[in-house]
Amino acid sequence: MSSDVVISPFAPQHAAQVRALFIAINRLLSPRHMRDAFEAYIERSLTEEIDRIGEYYNERDGGFWVALKGDNVVGMFGLERVSTSSLELRRMYVDPSAQRGGIARRMLQYAEAECRRRHISRLELSTSELQEAALGLYRSAGYTLMREETAVDASNKTVGSGIRRYYFEKLL
């Protein structure tokens, strides 16, 4: 269970494990016919964001946290500002060996509490059709689906390639 997991601000000593978790999760999510697109997405995201987490999230008036079980990173998530009244939840991943133990829900609650601490009234997020467990979590946690779209263009936020994306928000 997640009671032995501690959520802590990202520190340089977490960088290698965060990088490895990001790569592993995205390779697991990748449908066979989209391997090349996912590898390109992984490389772009590493360069633009994951390999410079501290700077990336500071530049966006946000933050990044890890879920630790002992010294092991078993989860991670970031927040970045998207408007004066909202932050976006980013990169919420749980290590496959630790999934289904409540860690994602704890990280989501932590993110919401961080928004409240910063006097932010809305938390936004997006996920894809490939992440069914995430879709269920966000719906059960009171998030409202704002829109769906098919992502065509790749960025550090989406693979593109025709994947269906779901955009949610919650008023806090």
Q: What is the pLDDT of residues 98-139, one digit of tens each?
A: 999 999 999 999 999 999 999 999 999 999 888 989 999 999
The CA distances from residue 116 to 34, 56, 113, in Å, are: 38, 22, 5
How does pLDDT run across 35-86, given as a tens digit for each residue? 998 999 999 999 999 999 999 999 999 999 999 999 999 999 999 999 999 9
Mention every residue, 6+ apart, whose C-beta is less than 8 A from residue 127.
134, 135, 138, 165, 166, 168
Residues paired with 66 in a beta bridge: 8, 76
At 113 the pLDDT is 98
What the chain holds in terms of domains, given with CATH numbers, is 2-121 (3.40.630.30)
Which is nearest to 47 in space by CA: 80, 23, 11? 23
Q: Which residues have CB under 8 Å from 36's CB, separation 6+?
A: none
Cα–Cα distance between 45 and 92 in angstroms, integer?
A: 14
CA separation for the pair 171, 123 (Å, rounded): 7
Q: How confident is the model at residue 34 (pLDDT cuts 50, 70, 90)?
A: confident
3-state per-residue secondary structure call for the chain? CHHHCEEEECCHHHHHHHHHHHHHHHHHHCCHHHHHHHHHHHHHHHHHCHHHHHHHHHHCCCEEEEEEECCEEEEEEEEEEEECCEEEEEEEEECHHHCCCCHHHHHHHHHHHHHHHCCCCEEEEEEECCCHHHHHHHHHCCCEEEEEEEECCCCCCCCCCCEEEEEEEEEC
